[in-house]
Structure 1
């Protein structure tokens, strides 16, 4: 007897717990209802000061949605996805079970090893064919990728410096960051010391200063071999943000497959003036969802540990069948 649809959907929601999210807030909730899996945002885990419109919250939910679909495909289930306007954000319909293909199972393995790495990347640039693969993965997920030229990277550096300065002088933003960053994070969310650099590396484009001293050795290199890109799309509504998260997950799994490291830089999209500057950088041909640093991971050094995750029972609800 094959796996039950309820078990398969619950396993897919469990796989989604590994998805990346802004400050590791994990702002999602799943409901297994018959042969469907429903995705909801959890505003209680939204960054109210840094993300008042919920862009990054819903983008994070989109990454979780794609993770769930990868998990479902690895179990051999064909599926159909609805993305209604409003809540739930998405409804996944499990339709037919068949033996899982090796590619689906490989993507599940990539999902398990994917992680965020704030260390300096190696001095080996991402090869052009890998960049092309990442751009194609983003398109497959429903967004696009614009790789910045040298002048645009310098503009980005100034932009991030200004956004960082603005946020450091905002008492409420600093207090909100303090709630999610630093320490051991025993509650299962946020960024522990072990994934925060002990000191900020001297790079052209500054990494985010969380205001805490972590324990991760960032390395002595520079970001001269890194590429910077904007993940963007045609719209700026919740459905577009959801698709952007799915595209990010597509791209990240492809990067993991090719040995590339991805570091999301969310600070430029958290403030209106920097978000508009990114839009001008795109020639006003789209809306920026996230900035990404792309590099080649150092194969000689193990990456940082995975960030903590909320237990399944806090994010997955299985509705009993009606009598």
Structure 2
């Protein structure tokens, strides 16, 4: 692949940036509906507009590996006939102030969440005429902690948030005709709004094989070429084995002091508090509609101080068996895995992008998902799951899948623009 010549164009003026700014705001509002562990929304997006920041982003993108997307020749001066910039950059970051850290497995979960966000963000931009030209993933160097990545990155100016660690740089190209292979922006917004975690009961009838095949079809965007395996566990023996694993280990988080304290910090008193905070989840997201007395009782029973006492009485095992009873009759359990047992940033982000595409397709097919992440958050349990069911590589997502009997409320979200910074 021939690399593109370096652009010598000046950064676009404020007037020239206006079309992309509008598109980015629209895309961020839709991408904010992406799934994330505990609804923590650990992503951030930087838009380089300053001369130094744009040059740093350009240098990194030009270092993209030869097996990445082919880059078309740049237009002269970096502008189209209508005067708007034909190249723009966005930098996806992990916001360390919003990430989960209590378990080592959360590092993968955070990247998967960010990858799902990136897939929907870039798809939304493509539907507005800004196609992805090239992506450069920022892999940690040997001997350097990921948490310190931002400290040794090319200079992006004082406006780069100190709590953000860059994950990838994307170059986008403005086009006269939007890339609309999968419908309109309004359709994507409707699907993203309809997508949610549904922890309620599902219909018992099987999901048609043709529907499952459609969910597993090749993906586009960031997810294109992702080395991800998708397994649908539909045999009774497989689903029984999975439910048995949940019954044995599903209470691990409740009895893990640090992990449960972190989880509980995302539990909101009610829907009003959740909406005001814009993240986390009310108890109704876990248990469905609740009366006020039952909500107060559950809030007290699940509090970390109470759980430390109740775990000695085996309460966490009771909760695990309750979860297993919900899991067992589900018609399908879907497991997604990365080929590499120790995946890098790029592979994990692509895995998250593949998950986003899968979940959107499931939503369009009238299906719901309920991730059962507890079996992946502890390495010994995850390895037992993979050995028991013959799942290769690194399983990063496992979930119930089926047609829900009842609707579930949508989890709250921060305003999309709150995740976007101009640098």
Q: Could you say which TM-score interval applies, normalised by the shorter chain?
A: 0.7 to 0.9
Instruction: Tell whether the 8 Å contact from 1:121 to 1:223 is kept in structure 2 after alignment.
Output: no
1:196 aligns with 2:286: yes
1:318 counterpart = 2:408: no
Whole-angstrom distance in 1 between the partners of 2:129 and 2:211: 28
Gaps of 5+ in 2: 1-15, 50-87, 141-164, 290-299, 304-322
In 1, the alpha carbon distance for the partners of 2:286 and 2:392 equals 35
Residue 370 of structure 2: SS of its match in structure 1?
A: strand
- Written as runs of structure 1 = structure 2, the 5 A alignment for 1:45-64 is 45-51=98-104, 53-64=106-117
Residues 281-311 of structure 1: per-residue CA shift (max 9 Å, x gap): 453632101102110134xx5x222211123
Confirm or deny: 8 A CA contact 2:334 2:400 kept in the other structure.
yes
Given that 1:30 and 1:316 are in contact with CA atoms closer than 8 Å, whether structure 2 keeps it comes out as: yes
Instruction: Give unpaired runs (5+ residues) of structure 1.
Output: 200-209
Structure-1 separation of matches of 2:199 and 2:346: 29
**Residue correspondence of structure 1 range 1-323 to structure 2 within 5 A:** 4-34=19-49, 35-51=88-104, 53-80=106-133, 81-86=135-140, 87-100=165-178, 101=180, 103-105=182-184, 106-137=187-218, 140=224, 142=226, 143-148=228-233, 149-184=235-270, 185=274, 186-198=276-288, 212=302, 224-235=329-340, 236-237=342-343, 238-281=345-388, 283=390, 285-298=392-405, 301=406, 303-319=407-423
Report SS of the residue matched to 1:277.
Answer: helix
4+ long deviations beyond 6 Å = none
User: C-alpha displacement at 1:228, in angstroms?
Assistant: 0.5
Counterpart-to-counterpart distance in 2, 1:162 and 1:239 = 34
Supply the distance in 2 between the matched residues of 1:313 and 1:2 (Cα, whole angstroms).
Answer: 16
Q: Distance in 1 between matches of 2:30 and 2:327?
A: 34
Q: Partners in 2 of 1:164 and 1:248 — Cα distance?
A: 23
Structure-2 separation of matches of 1:51 and 1:120 = 31
Structure-1-length-normalised TM-score: 0.83
Instruction: State the Cα distance separating 1:198 from its structure 2 match.
Output: 4.5
**What SS does the aligned partner of 1:270 have?**
coil
Q: Alignment RMSD, CA only?
A: 2.9
Distance 2:173 2:337 in 1: 31
Distance in 2 of aligned mates of 1:13 and 1:107: 13
Distance in 1 of aligned mates of 2:410 and 2:106: 28
1:61 to partner: Cα distance: 0.5
> Contact 2:33/2:192 (CA < 8 Å) preserved in 1?
yes
d(CA) in 2 for partners of 1:222 and 1:40?
A: 34
Question: Cα deviations across residues 81-137 of structure 1 (Å, max 9, x unaligned)?
Answer: 332314521222221323333624133431232111111112332111111111125
Task: Sort the Cα spacing of 1:103 and 1:150 in 2 relative to 1 into closer, same or farther, 3 A.
Answer: same
Equivalences, count: 301
1:259 is displaced (CA, Å) by 1.0
User: Normalized against structure 2, the TM-score is what?
Assistant: 0.65
